[in-house]
Amino acid sequence: MSTTYRPATINAVEARATVSGSKDGGLDESGNPYYFPNASVSIGYWFDNEGVPSSNWDTFFTAELWINGKPAGKKQELAGSGPQTYTFFAHKFPEPGAYKVEIRGKNSKTLDVTIKNRPVEEKRAAQ
């Protein structure tokens, strides 16, 4: 059987610090997440397995990462077990600002990612 590639049906997207427990971001006063420049951020997404079993090694689902309307990455993933599969793109945002992040496949889902400068730590004088 030959390998096939089909655009993934994107169910949902999210952004998280790539390393669990990372100090590369935080929550603002409203509880919205933000990240620091050059920190690795996971842009996670769930896609529909469309009835393809995890034992099928010939069907790949494709998705693209777009940031502010420009392509930033591509993935090809096999279906996982269950009705949908989770995977992610790791991306570093170089500058502070608001970014429109989009995962494109058969459809697309978007989210906004906020990047803020790291707070300046005051150095204490030796006593």
Q: Does a structural domain hold residue 46?
A: yes
**Residue 12: CATH number of its domain:** 2.60.40.10
Q: Does a structural domain hold residue 57?
A: yes
Nearest C-alpha neighbor of 84 from the set 10, 4, 5, 3: 10
Domain span holding position 26: 4-115
Q: CA 12 to CA 96: how far, in whole Å?
A: 25
Q: Does a structural domain hold residue 125?
A: no
What's this model's pTM, rounded to 2 decimal places?
0.88
CA distances from 54 to 64, 75, 85, 106, 110 (A): 21, 17, 10, 20, 27
Q: Does a structural domain hold residue 82?
A: yes
Q: Does a structural domain hold residue 127?
A: no
Question: What is the tens place of the pLDDT at every residue in 102-117?
Answer: 999 999 999 999 999 9
Question: What is the tens place of the pLDDT at every residue in 59-105?
Answer: 999 999 999 999 999 999 999 999 999 999 999 999 999 999 999 99
Q: Does a structural domain hold residue 14?
A: yes
Q: Does a structural domain hold residue 122?
A: no
3-state secondary structure of 60: strand
Nearest C-alpha neighbor of 50 from the set 87, 76, 79: 79
- Tell the residue number behind the tokens 């420049």, with chain if given: 37
Q: Which strand (E) or helix (H) includes residue 26? A: strand 25-27
Q: Would you say 10 and 107 are in contact if contact means Cβ atoms under 8 Å apart? A: yes
Question: How many separate domains does the chain show?
Answer: 1
Q: Does a structural domain hold residue 93?
A: yes
Question: What is the tens place of the pLDDT at every residue in 10-49?
Answer: 999 998 877 655 678 888 888 888 999 998 899 999 999 9
Structural tokens at position 48: 């529909």
